[in-house]
Amino acid sequence: MKRLFATACVCALLLISGCAGKPQAEINRTDFVLGTVCSIQLSSGGSDKTADAIFARLRQIDDTMSANKDGTEIAAVNAAAGKKAVTVSADTFYVISKALEYAKKTNGAFDPTVGPLVKLWNIGNEGAKVPAAKDIKAMLALIDYRKVEMDPAKLTVRLPVAGMRLDLGAIAKGYAADEAVKILKAQKVKSAIIDLGGNIFVYGKKKDGSPWMVGIQNPYSDRGEYIGLVTGHQMTVVTSGVYERYFIENGKRYHHILDTKTGFPVDNGLVSVSIVTDSSIDADALSTSVFALGLDKGMEFVKSLQGVYAIFIDEKDRVYLSPGANNVFKLTDSKFTLSE
């Protein structure tokens, strides 16, 4: 799963065209938050105060939901594992609830209790290496979303077994993007781009009426090269892939999306999955969920959802589209082939 926030996956997306030309009123702001470089472009409407409000909200989410910072609510829940329930904010309770919802839908392929395994592998940080088999086995024993105790009346969360750890890295940036969109709506912004380390949300309509275009990153090339374009007027596009965060040991690449059954990085022939929809929290969770499920099960899962499109790329350069995705995605790189 994608790790929150310090090594969160910079997803395989590049905004290809924001606005035609650069309006004088356009406001651009970039800062490091949520453990990644986040950019906001207010193309039509809004003000510096709008940008300030968005980044303040992003920092608030980071300061409550990060598993990798001291003093956060998630850190408190993890520290209390096996001991007591911890009261959290409505924000954190909601995101954990959504994560558990996806864990149930995927039978644990997506699991926010993957924290012990993420910490053991430490992928994306200095000193990452393949853990000992006995250590992986011990961490797997701590992963079980069904054990998380939630009390909606008291807004408390309890991990009943010592050593359990929540990690919201596969969903929290999506929630943050949705919260930024709420601010855009409240401030009556007409057109904007939100890029949270690659989690893209294109908001509103461009002044010239043309659609937004978001490029799907070529998984084998430097950032900026894309295999195709997602086109639409308001949407979020989030990708999970094997190539953004990894290490190589004895000639083998180990990526950051971990299999909650084997304890090793997912190995199912996929190199990336992109999700296109209108809710970024769902897109974020789905990109990891669908990747972990693999092509066949992942495709069936997407087919059961309304208003969700998926773009799969496998290690043989084949691109698979969920039903309807051909209406929003166009392949532009001839090195890749569309497959049925």
Q: Percent of the chain beyond pLDDT 90?
A: 80
Q: From CA 11, how far away is CA 2, in angstroms rounded?
A: 10
Higher pLDDT: 174 or 254? It is 174
Over residues 62-111, the pLDDT tens digits come to 999 999 899 999 999 999 999 999 999 999 999 999 999 999 999 999 99
> 134 pLDDT exceeds 80?
yes
Confidence of residue 206 (pLDDT cuts 50, 70, 90): confident
Indicate the domain borders of the chain: 13-61+188-339, 63-158
pLDDT of residue 246: 80
Q: Percent of the chain beyond pLDDT 70?
A: 92
Fold of 63-158: T-fold (1.10.3980)
> 148 pLDDT exceeds 90?
yes
pLDDT of residue 223: 64
Q: From CA 219, how far away is CA 197, in angstroms rounded?
A: 16
Confidence of residue 5 (pLDDT cuts 50, 70, 90): very low
> 11 pLDDT exceeds 60?
no
Ranking 21-30, 135-144, 175-184 by mean pLDDT, the lowest is 21-30
DSSP state of 334: T
Confidence of residue 243 (pLDDT cuts 50, 70, 90): confident
- Any idea of the CA torsion for 94, 99, 105, 108, to the nearest 10 degrees? -150
Confidence of residue 12 (pLDDT cuts 50, 70, 90): very low
pLDDT of residue 9: 35
Over residues 305-319, the pLDDT tens digits come to 999 999 999 999 999
pLDDT of residue 7: 30
What's the mean pLDDT in 139-163? 98
Taking CA atoms, 102 is separated from 9, 71, 119, 137, in Å, by: 19, 26, 21, 24
Q: From CA 236, how far away is CA 228, in angstroms rounded?
A: 16
> 8 pLDDT exceeds 80?
no
- Any idea of the CA torsion for 96, 99, 101, 102, to the nearest 10 degrees? 180
Question: What's the 3-state SS for 232-295?
Answer: ECCEEEEEEECCCCEEEECCEEEECCECCCCCCECCCCEEEEEEEECCHHHHHHHHHHHHHHCH
Higher pLDDT: 224 or 170? It is 170
pLDDT of residue 220: 84
- 77 residue type, one letter: V
pLDDT of residue 187: 95
Q: How far separated are the first and last CA of the chain, in Å rounded?
A: 27
Under 8 Å between Cβ of 61 and 91: yes
β-pair partners for 17: 213
Over residues 211-223, the pLDDT tens digits come to 999 999 998 876 6
pLDDT of residue 288: 96
**CA contacts within 13 A on the Cβ side of 157:** 29
Ranking 89-93, 98-102, 113-117, 206-210 by mean pLDDT, the lowest is 206-210
pLDDT of residue 15: 53
Q: From CA 314, how far away is CA 296, in angstroms rounded?
A: 12
β-pair partners for 327: none
Ramachandran angles phi, psi of 169, nearest 5°: -65, -20
Helix (H) or strand (E) holding 185: helix 172-186
Q: What is the mean pLDDT of the chain?
A: 91
Environment class of residue 208 by beta-carbon count within 10 Å: exposed (0-12), middle (13-18) or buried (19+)? exposed
41-63: string of b/e by CB count within 10 Å (b at 16+)? bbbbbbeeebbebbbebbeebbe
Under 8 Å between Cβ of 77 and 86: yes
pLDDT of residue 222: 63
Fold of 13-61+188-339: T-fold (3.10.520)
pLDDT of residue 23: 41
